[in-house]
Structure 1
Amino acid sequence: MHSVPLVYYFELLAIQEAEMEVDSRPSVHRVHFQESLDTFGHDSGILVQPLNDVLINAHLGFIQINHRYEVRFQFDCPPHLGSLSVRTQDPPNLNLRVVELKPVVSTGLKYEVVLELLAYKEKILREQLVLQSCNNPLLTLTLVLNARVLGKGKGTPFLKTGIHCIGVEMEEESDLSDWQGFD
């Protein structure tokens, strides 16, 4: 059995303490992640998935009930459609309004759309927007917006890039608005 003299052990401890930086502030524990392992930023944008030439899915992520959002994203336009315009709906959709639809200047095959969306129900919200070709109104492209809507008291969602909360709607059912009648 080989034993190290106790004197060497204490000298080693003294050297290690001298090499350590002494900080008089109270210790604060923080978690640090390597930036190379950070994948958070890769999923922070709206996911736009063309399913075919006439249907595009846009996944908005989590939003909150009774909140009104501005949603802005770009999508590729199939070449056979040419210029696009918004097809009017009858009756109009009160929960989804097109603020702007414009071609991206760098290429005529990509469009940017700005929408105003109201999260009017909990769980899964699916809204459709139909665009039509300016050359032939029978040719259409449907944008399907998908979102997971958190109910009241279920937390505050982290909004994806391109989504901004622009207002909160008053709740229809409230204890303050219920008339109790005469006593």
Structure 2
Amino acid sequence: MAAAKKGAKPKVAGVRFAAGFPEEGAHNHVHFDEQLHDSVVMVSQQEDGNFLVKVGFLKILHKYEISFSLPPVQRLGKSICAVPLPTLNLKVLSITSQAEGHSIKCEYTAHKEGVLKEEMILASETNDKAFVKVVVQARVLDRHHGTPMLLEGVRCTGTELEYDSEQSDWHGFD
């Protein structure tokens, strides 16, 4: 039976590609919809009137300067200030009034890994009872997971020293 197939010609079929495909060795590019990789800090207003600011991926033990704009809030008015809160990881550097709301610049220290939320309170300078809470949310990577691509409005300003007991030059008591 094997001898009968020896003399038969194998069937050869050609493969044809549709017009428009690049030739072999040509470079291909993938294009994504612009909304899929929006690379700016996202500010969204919650149902209760407060704001959530998503700053993307950050690296642990690094300091960042974060700039974002808040839309106008009627109850706050034009002049607002930050209420001092006892947090070491988020510090408001400046608040500037704009035609369309306020520009906020703050300093953030990524102190531990995971999804972290730090909050600030912005209050009206003319109405004691008017304030809004702004929650800054970051996804902090540990030091072994590479360098994150920072969003527009986020700038790394430095690193914090990491304490590692194995690097100590203290040899103990004699």
User: Which amino acid is 2:90 matched to?
Assistant: L
Question: TM-score scaled by structure 2?
Answer: 0.77
Change (3 A) 1:171 1:53: same
CA distance in structure 2 between the partners assigned to 1:132 and 1:71 by the alignment: 19
Q: CA deviation at 1:53?
A: 5.7
**Structure 2 spans left out of the alignment, 5+ residues:** 1-23
Question: Partners of 2:172 and 2:82 in 1: how far apart?
Answer: 48
Q: What are the ranges of 5 or more consecutive residues in structure 1 without an aligned counterpart?
A: 1-26
CA distance in 1, matches of 2:168, 2:26: 47
Question: What is residue 93 of structure 2 aligned with on the other side?
Answer: 99
Q: TM-score normalised to the size of structure 1?
A: 0.74
2:39 to 31, 44, 56: 44
| Distance in 1 between residues matched to 2:130 and 2:26, nearest whole Å | 60
Q: In structure 1, how many angstroms separate the alpha carbons of the residues matched to 2:105 and 2:35?
A: 25
Matches within 5 A, 1:107-118: 107=99, 109-118=100-109
The answer to whether the 8 Å contact 1:76/1:110 transfers is: yes
Structure 1 segments, 4+ long, off by >4 Å, are none
SS at 2:40 equivalent: coil
**Is residue 80 of structure 1 aligned with residue 80 of structure 2?**
no
3-state DSSP class of the match of 2:46? strand
1: CA distance between counterparts of 2:50 and 2:83? Answer: 15
**In 2: Cα distance, 1:124 partner to 1:178 partner:** 34
Structure with greater proportional helix content: 1
Aligned-residue Cα RMSD (Å) equals: 2.3
Amino acid at match of 1:67: H
The alpha-carbon distance between structure 1 residues 29 and 181, as it changes in their structure 2 partners (threshold 3 A), is farther
| Number of residue-to-residue matches in the alignment | 151
Percent identity of paired positions between Structure 1 and Structure 2 = 35
The aligned amino acid for 1:164 is R
